[in-house]
Amino acid sequence: MELRAARRSERDEVLDLLGLWYKDREFFARYNQNDPKFRDELCLIARDGDALVATVQIFDRAVQLDGQATPMGGIGSVFTREDYRHQGVASALMRMAVETLEREQFEVSLLFAERLTFYNQFGWREIGRKFSVLANASALRASGEYEIDVFDPARDLDAIASIHRDYTGRFNVSAVRDAADWQGNLIFAGNQPGEGCAEYFIIACSRSRPSAYARVTRFYGVTMVMEYGYRGGMEDALLTLFQHLGEAATGARCSHRLQGDHRGAAMLTEGTGGAGAPAGVLVTHTAHDKTLESRLTAAGAPVAYHQDNNYMWRIVSAHKLGKRLGLPPDWATARAFELFASDNSLFWSADRF
């Protein structure tokens, strides 16, 4: 069995292998072809003769920790061909992944998993985090001063990136995006196996100036607001968007002025008769923002929480992290896990891999 980094010439083989997972090769291709930080040396493979039988991918990211952009290696696309399972192949690749994370000088690592005990043995620890549930978004009492438009990258990206930088940058664990990261993220943020990557991206404007934005998809039958942002003190602009999303998901007429082509809102009513949350329920992240939560409650949509435990972190280099944070290595490790677990920290669903 040969374990190594993939070669450029093997990219199609890797995607063919991953395509066996959900019968959706394109799901994985969207990341590999559009992630500006994709590198073949971060795509690890197991080859048995002529057959590619397993793979693990490391996603090159950075997250905010105490104001420092910290190199983070995300673990994803962990897959072994069925006839090679339970033979130690995935474990060998995970050990190689840890060595690669260390060699490439990542300082922390994140993965999302159901097989918690499998990843525990390689040093990842599960952390509880809260998703927020808005069950009454359509009944929000929101300001009528904002109009709602559809995001146009050519027109709006600079303004939205600025809102994202100012709002998201206030919180620990949030992913850092440069211009290239934004371009890739716009392609694969809503990516889901078997469901494509449709996204309904809307902005609230006052006098044609974007004041807030929200990015929405259908995630396993649930209307997921996978990212949002608003200018300081403009919580009502975001409430306007949440109310519109609640109305769109229930088929109600929009209470606000609309600009642009909003046919993408139709995704919010797709599949509402099957599994998933009832129509009109929005799932998002709000626990980090108590000001917003207070405003939501006052406007008629108090927040409930759903606990998620499939969120796993690992310290790759306590020494390097300690130098970055100005702490001894043990203290840096403790501080990082304090931040990972804090309700005041934030990792957007739009940044998942």
Q: What is the pLDDT of residues 233-288, one digit of tens each?
A: 999 999 999 999 999 998 899 999 999 999 999 988 876 555 556 777 899 999 99
Q: What are phi and psi of 33, to 5 degrees?
A: -90, -15
Q: What is the pLDDT of residue 353?
A: 93
Give the Cα separation of 235 and 230 in Å (integer): 7
Q: What is the pLDDT of residue 143?
A: 87
Q: What is the mean pLDDT of residues 58-62?
A: 98
Q: Which residue has the higher pLDDT, 336 or 193?
A: 336
Report how many helices (DSSP H) and strands (DSSP E) the chain contains, helices first.
Answer: 10, 13
Q: How far is CA 205 from CA 32, 239, 240, 254, 308, in A?
A: 34, 12, 10, 15, 33
* DSSP-H helix ranges across the chain: 11-22, 25-34, 89-103, 116-120, 153-168, 179-188, 235-250, 290-298, 318-325, 329-341
Name the percent of the chain lying above pLDDT 70: 98
Express each pLDDT in 61-119 by its tens digit: 999 999 999 999 999 999 999 999 999 999 999 999 999 999 999 999 999 999 999 99
* Nearest C-alpha neighbor of 289 from the set 174, 182, 206: 174
Q: What is the pLDDT of residue 256?
A: 93
User: Which domains are seen in the chain, by residue range?
Assistant: 2-129+309-351 (3.40.630.30), 131-307 (3.40.630.30)
Partners of 217 in the β-ladder: 224
Name the percent of the chain lying above pLDDT 90: 90
Give the Cα separation of 130 and 57 in Å (integer): 26
Q: What is the pLDDT of residue 271?
A: 60
Q: How far is CA 240 from CA 58, 97, 230, 254, in A?
A: 38, 44, 11, 10
* Of 189-193, 272-276, 311-315, highest mean pLDDT: 311-315
Give the Cα separation of 202 and 210 in Å (integer): 10
User: Confidence class of residue 17 from pLDDT cuts 50, 70 and 90?
Assistant: very high
Q: What is the mean pLDDT of residues 217-222?
A: 87
Q: What is the pLDDT of residue 15?
A: 98
Q: What is the pLDDT of residue 278?
A: 72
Which of helix, strand or coil describes residue 163?
helix
Q: Are 332 and 325 in contact (CB under 8 A)?
A: yes
- Residue 25, pLDDT > 80, answer yes
Q: What is the mean pLDDT of residues 311-323?
A: 98
Give the Cα separation of 246 and 302 in Å (integer): 14
Q: What is the mean pLDDT of residues 200-210?
A: 95
Give the predicted TM-score (pTM) of the model: 0.95
User: Confidence class of residue 195 from pLDDT cuts 50, 70 and 90?
Assistant: confident
Q: Which residue has the higher pLDDT, 121 or 272?
A: 121
Q: What is the pLDDT of residue 118?
A: 97
Tokens 């000001």 locate to 291
